[in-house]
Structure 1
């Protein structure tokens, strides 16, 4: 990868590693549904003008059905699950559990891609890592198990959304797709957000966290990620999943005084090993770089 690709890679890794920390700050004063609705609204206000300037908003009209489904499985569902899940578990554990997403994708695609010994071993190691994280970090804590379960469901939803984008929405310009899904999120959740409007004074830290979630962790991160795909291909771009949990754990331990247990390190190591093995391309799938026309569309 060239310097620009490395810069985008590190940028996305950081921007998608800090949401779990920011969510913890935001839900101290704001309800989870208010946080998700606000995050979607802020991101839409950033992304839709970008799409308008590029003249790509029209692409949403013919694909509104797919975009609506994608909004449900890629933003509304997982964002709510993660935010409500973090009420019961640490931001560090949340980031680590989300890292299992590539393993889930490999499992879902086992019917269309060869399930080699390496991929099978990767699936086993990945889910073993989840077992270590959940079994030792929240063992005996029913609410903790509920929170971990919510986050794992979010990871599954992300995996389904990734496949949906590849198969049904690859022709929709990224800024329009991201703007459309975040706008739908804001519209759908607006009534619930109004019902849970904070009745007590909200600290500046909560409002700041919400603003950063919308602008940086959603709008900017999505645009940077799509540009990274154009420059480096989807396989290499997907490797940001390996770094996101490191950022999440670092912030949680440093600023939220969350514990760093040996099970956290061991579970994360198993998840990363599982992701690496389960996502290694077979010999017939080595060329994952986008075509020149696709790269130009994503980068443009």
Structure 2
């Protein structure tokens, strides 16, 4: 992997890590599904007028609007309302091993035994953190696992989809997610407009950071990297996101630092290092050509 691409990945995971802080701030003042909907409104308004799609791309974007827009993001925001930023981020990282294993089965991408061992070590860290008292009920854990599954499936869809420029993908996923997320908010939540009118900087920062820094900047870079490299080369790096989220949660939100978080974070870092070291030589330039604009 080129050095500049390595630093791009670190930038992406850092933006995602702080997004958990921004979302928690937003949830102080806005319902989770409505916060998700507002995020997608901002993204769609900023990108869709400048991005065109064709008939070949349309069904893939519609599918991603559900798996990524609704299944991943909406359930993530709901789950984050009931746990702290670090713990929620780590449970959602189950999507990384799920995606790697699905890539092995569906895309026929090979995993060496040492790579599987690294995934297992990282997963053990996730399991330790999932046992933290900051998970208040089994259904909160289930919601976050469903969000992780949506993330994993979406990454495979991106790999199999026809070429779509990253900004186009980001904008149209947001647009196609609006109806289902909006309907869910209307059905399950109340007083959304009142909450928006009375929202302070926490609520608005949560909307705009999540929309611009996390969606437009971070995911655009992520889509580009997914098209350039093997899924199993890129995915292990995302396991650094929950570790950074734990640290940022302590610094910015006053989250507790207990033995679950310390041991879990150590296992995640160790497992990531094992997996990444053995994946660095797996380049996929021949299989996945550069993105081209249409």
TM-score normalised by the chain length of structure 2: 0.83
In structure 2, runs of 5+ residues without a counterpart are none
CA contact (8 A) 2:233 2:282 kept: no
CA contact (8 A) 1:30 1:198 kept: no
Aligned with 2:72 (options 78, 84, 91):
78
Aligned with 1:94 (options 82, 88, 95):
88
CA contact (8 A) 1:12 1:240 kept: no
Corresponding residue for residue 172 of structure 2: 180
Aligned with 1:202 (options 199, 204, 225):
199
Aligned residues: 287
Alignment pair present for 1:154 and 2:150: no
C-alpha separation between the residues in 2 aligned to 1:270 and 1:218?
Answer: 28
Alignment pair present for 1:171 and 2:167: no
C-alpha separation between the residues in 1 aligned to 2:159 and 2:33?
Answer: 28
Q: Counterpart of 2:284 in 1: which secondary structure?
A: coil
Q: Counterpart of 1:246 in 2: which secondary structure?
A: helix
C-alpha separation between the residues in 2 aligned to 1:26 and 1:124?
Answer: 34
C-alpha separation between the residues in 2 aligned to 1:119 and 1:161?
Answer: 22
Q: Aligned in 2, Cα 1:292/1:196: closer, same or farther, shift over 3 Å?
A: same
Q: Counterpart of 1:258 in 2: which secondary structure?
A: coil
C-alpha separation between the residues in 2 aligned to 1:234 and 1:124?
Answer: 17
Alignment pair present for 1:247 and 2:244: yes
TM-score normalised by the chain length of structure 1: 0.82
In structure 1, runs of 5+ residues without a counterpart are 52-56
C-alpha separation between the residues in 1 aligned to 2:275 and 2:152?
Answer: 14
Alignment pair present for 1:295 and 2:285: no
CA contact (8 A) 1:73 1:160 kept: yes
C-alpha separation between the residues in 1 aligned to 2:289 and 2:179?
Answer: 31
C-alpha separation between the residues in 1 aligned to 2:50 and 2:230?
Answer: 23
Give 1:134 shift.
Answer: 1.6
C-alpha separation between the residues in 2 aligned to 1:193 and 1:137?
Answer: 28
CA contact (8 A) 1:102 1:278 kept: no
Alignment pair present for 1:36 and 2:23: no
